[in-house]
Amino acid sequence: MNNTSAIELRNVTRQFLSPDGKALTALRDFSMTVARGEFAAVVGPTGCGKSTTLNLVTGLFKPSAGEVRVMGEPVNGIDRRIGFVFQTDALFPWRNVIDNVVAGPIFRGMAKAHAYAEARDWLARVGLSKFEKLHPHQLSGGMRKRAALAQTFINKPEILLMDEPFSALDVQTRAVMHTELLKLWSENRASVVFVTHDLEEAIALADKVYVLTAGPATVKSVYDIKLPRPRNVADIRYDKNFIDISKQIWNDLKSEVQEAQARQTRAA
C-alpha cells in the first residue's frame, strides 16, 4: 500500500467559465506523480494554470476530464492530510499570531490546552515565540510567512501544497525562508508540490521540476534535480551543477515565457 504515490494527476483537463460565460481551459491533458516524501516544483509562465494543479489536489476544483488521486484514492472533498500555503496573506487579521496557529487543531476538535501547547512549540520552531500576542499587521512580511508556515505545519500535513508562497517577499527574506522551509520539511518529509515562476527557487528546493507550457498548461518536460541534501540554499545558486541545470531548464522554459508574453501583448 505504501508504494502508491502521494499525488497522482492522470490526463487531467480542467475547464472553467470566465465571468462573461466563456469556457476557458486552464489545464490540458496534464499528468504528474509525486512520490511519498518527494519535493516537486512546478514552474511555468505567469497565468498558465500552475495554481489550478494545486486546487485540483485540494478538491476545491474538480477535473473536467481525467483523474486526481491522493494517497491512492480519488479526491473527494478536502483531505485532512493536506496543508496549503497561500501566495497572499491568508492569516486571519483579527486573530493574534498564536490564535492563528491554533486555528487548524481547534477546527479539527483538539482540546484547547493541548492545541495551545502545540502552537507554542511550532512558534518556537519558526522563531516567533516572542511575537505570539501580536496581530498580523504588526509583523513583517517574512514573519507573517513564518506564522503561515506554523499554521500549516501544526496540522502535520502528509501532503504540502504551496502556491508561490514567497513571491511577495524581498530576495534576502526569501532566501532565509527557503532554508527555514527545508528545515521544517526534513523533519517529517511531507510530499510537496511547490508552484512558482522562479526557476532558481524551484531548483534549489525540489527533487523534481515540472516545466509547464504556456496556457492551457500541460507538462512540457520533467527534470530530476540530483543536488545532494541537506542543501544550503543561500550558496547553492553558485554551485556548478546548479548553474548547469538551471541553464538547461531555462532553455526549455524560455520559449514558453516568450509565447505567454506574446499572447498578452496581442490580447492588450
Partner 1 sequence: MTSISPTFDATSAEALEAKAKAANTGYWRKVYFWRISLLVLFLGSWELAARTEVIDPFRYAMPSTIWARLVEWITEGTSEGPLWYHLWVTMEESLLGFFSGSIIGVIAGIALGRNKMAADIFALYIQLINSIPRVVLAPIFTVIFGLGLMSKVALSFVMVFFVVFANAFQGVREADKAMIANARILGASESQLTRSVIIPSALSWIFASLHVSFGFAIIGAIVGEFVGARYGIGLLISIAKGSFDAAGMFAAILIVMVVALIAEYLMTYIEGRFASWKPPVSQDVA
Binding mask 29-58 for partner 1 (x = CB under 8 A): -----------------------------x
Span of 18-26, 82-90, 193-201, 243-251 interacting with partner 1 by CB under 8 A? 82-90
For residue 42, what are the contacts with CB-CB under 8 A and spacing of at least 6? 32, 50, 53, 193, 194, 195, 196, 202, 209, 210, 212
Closer residue to partner 1 (CB): 93 or 230: 93
Judged by beta carbon, residue 160 or residue 211, the one nearer partner 1 is 160
When binding is defined by CB under 8 A, the residue of 33, 37, 90, 198 that contacts partner 1 is 90
Strand duo 23-34 + 159-163: pairing: unpaired
Q: Give the start-end residues of each E strand in the chain.
A: 7-17, 23-34, 39-43, 65-70, 73-74, 82-85, 159-163, 191-196, 208-212, 219-224
Query: Residue from 62, 80, 156, 254 that binds partner 1 (CB under 8 A)?
Result: 80
Interface with partner 1 (CB under 8 A), residue from 52, 155, 213, 218 = 155
- Closest contact distance (angstroms) between CB of 93 and partner 1 is 6
Shortest distance (Å) from residue 214 CB to partner 1:
25
Tell me: does residue 202 bind partner 1 (CB under 8 A): no
Find residue 10's DSSP bridge partners.
67
> Longest Cα pair distance anywhere in the chain, in angstroms?
58
Radius of gyration of the chain (CA): 19
- Does 78 bind partner 1 (CB under 8 A)? Our answer is yes
User: Residues binding partner 1: what is the number (CB under 8 A)?
Assistant: 28
- Quick one: angle between helices 112-125 and 141-153, nearest 10? 130
Smallest distance, partner 1 to C-beta of residue 168, A: 12
Going from the C-alpha of 41 to that of each of 22, 48, 170, 196, 203, the distances in angstroms are 30, 15, 20, 7, 8
DSSP 51-67: HHHHHHHHTSS--SEEE
Candidates 63-71, 83-91, 112-120, 191-199: pick the segment binding partner 1 (CB under 8 A).
83-91
Residue (of 157, 145, 138) closest to 89 by Cα position: 145
Question: Should residue 82 be labelled a site residue for partner 1 when binding is judged by CB under 8 A?
Answer: yes
CB of residue 103 to partner 1, shortest distance in Å: 5
Give yes or no for residue 60 binding partner 1 (CB under 8 A).
Answer: yes
Q: Are 49 and 212 in contact (CB under 8 A)?
A: yes
What is the rounded CA–CA span in Å between residue 82 and residue 72? 14
Q: Least distance (Å) from partner 1 to the CB of residue 90?
A: 4
For partner 1, the binding residue among 10, 36, 69, 95 (CB under 8 A) is: 95
Pick out residues in 100-139 that bind partner 1 (CB under 8 A). 103-104, 107-108, 135, 137-138
Binding site for partner 1 (CB under 8 A): 58, 60, 78, 80, 82-84, 86-96, 103-104, 107-108, 135, 137-138, 151-152, 155
